[in-house]
Amino acid sequence: MPKTLALGKHYKMKVNTNNTFVDQWNSAYVSKAFPFSIPRPVSGADFPNRPANRRKGDAPHVSPWVFSKALAARVEGCVRNDWILVPANRNLTVKWDALCGNEVACKHNVDKNKAGNVHAAELSDAAGKLYHKLANGHWWDGKKRRRINHDFSKLKYATDLSDLEKKLVRDLSFLSQKFAGTQEVRLLMNHALFGARIEYGDPLFLTVSPSASHSGLCIRLSRYRYEDPAVRCNLDDKTNFRPWAGSDKPNLWVNESEDAVIMDFPEYEVRRTAVSRDPWCVVLAFLHSAKFVLPAALGIQMCPQCPHCNHDGSVTPCQTIFGHNMRPTGGAAGLGVASGGTIEYQQCNNPHVHENVHIASVYQHHTLVEIGEKLRQNLLELDTIKKYVSWIHREEHYHPESHDEKLAYWEKKWKNGHRSSDHSVLCQLPSFYKEAPGSTLWSPQPASREEAIAEGSGFLKK
């Protein structure tokens, strides 16, 4: 019990709050509101048109969004372990941007002969009624009257909206399109993926959810200083991950010798503790899987800036002049022309990506009737389709007998979250990955101009 009460005998604390509002849009607010995470008044964003108390003269300007982004990546344990600081700062930044940002503007015509206060009263009245309709209103789906039931995306279809209410809903929809995580952004994703389907044809649908507690990369990307009190406080604990605090631990590759595999990796409980204390490393490792490993497996050319790398004037676009991102060698599912997806965070689980992969195949731009016709005309072999489908959806085992023999054992392991050490091999990459032939960005580069010319001369047109 005493261990759980951080404030010891003072656990019953009476706090009186004032009813005077504090100005939140200034650089000093963060350290005032979160004194345990940022103990000295040294941080905070530079809000435009506010005095920059912390950064004087020609010091770099740290905008609220830049500060909000950088805060999540700060190395101090007191910031990484604070469950409120980063979300609260994000909340603050979104509110500021929604009300003061340059990009977002509510546009509708206003009667210039009407006094400002009358107009304000009408707007507040309309907002109040909309709020009521969000909870108790109804919308018409074309056949049936349905309850809105707090679904903001249905509010614009409400049956009895006044003109002003309609304008307000339109303004709000426009505003929320600018911020990640809103319903309106979901609609934009829908439009983008539907557009891709028209251009690239029918896709395969993938769900990929890399496990954070089985990822060596998570531990590698987790950043704690070795002397940080956050990793020093549980030295006797089984979950002590201090030995793994550092930029070069663990090794990403499995070290294989003749007859042994050497794992440079902490136990399951340590891994789980480490990733739960560092949400940013989970996000980084996940983005690495989604933006590098997955496209590589699918044979799709993709960079961290995609698709913005294709913007007019870019000298390093990932797309070809045909508008494809296909690598000539293809990938695990065939020739991947393009892909697009969305990232989802569900409850406290691993982030995962839902992705459409457009594969160059007969299904891309043909209906089932047309495919049937091709089969009848012998332009397409049924066996080819069967082979492809059983390759993509492989459900039978390579060695069914040994699978059946060990089924009960594997079921038990799975229910246990694969926590025993014989599954640690899932956490690292096999060493043969880095031995792939051919030069990459990480291969030794030519040291001199002459060497570079000699290397490049192989690519000259003869």
Residues lying near Zn ion in the complex (CB under 5 A): 303, 306, 309, 318
Identity of the residue, 66 or 303, whose beta carbon is nearer to Zn ion in the bound complex: 303
CB-nearer residue toward Zn ion: 243 or 304: 304
CB 441 to Zn ion: min, Å: 14
- Which of residues 297 and 309 has its CB atom nearest to Zn ion in the complex? 309
Task: Pick between residue 316 and residue 457 the one whose CB is nearest to Zn ion.
Answer: 316
Cα Rg of the chain (Å, integer): 28
Q: Smallest distance from the beta carbon of 342 to Zn ion, in angstroms?
A: 18
Which residue's CB is nearer to Zn ion, number 45 or number 338? Answer: 338
**Residue 40: CA count within 13 A, CB half-sphere:** 2
* Closest distance to Zn ion from the beta carbon of 319 (Å): 8
Q: Which is nearer to Zn ion, 301 or 424 (CB)?
A: 301
Q: Which is nearer to Zn ion, 11 or 292 (CB)?
A: 292
Between helix 64-72 and helix 279-288 the angle, nearest 10°, is 90
In the complex, the smallest distance separating the C-beta of residue 215 from Zn ion, rounded to whole angstroms, is: 24
**Nearer Cβ to Zn ion, position 89 or 339?**
339
CB of 358 to Zn ion, least distance (A): 16
Closer residue to Zn ion in complex, CB, 304/446: 304
Largest CA distance in the chain: 88
Give least dist CB 355 to Zn ion, A. 16
Minimal distance in Å, beta carbon 445 to Zn ion? 21
Question: Could you tell me the smallest distance in angstroms from the CB atom of residue 338 to Zn ion?
Answer: 12
Shortest Å distance, C-beta 300 to Zn ion: 10
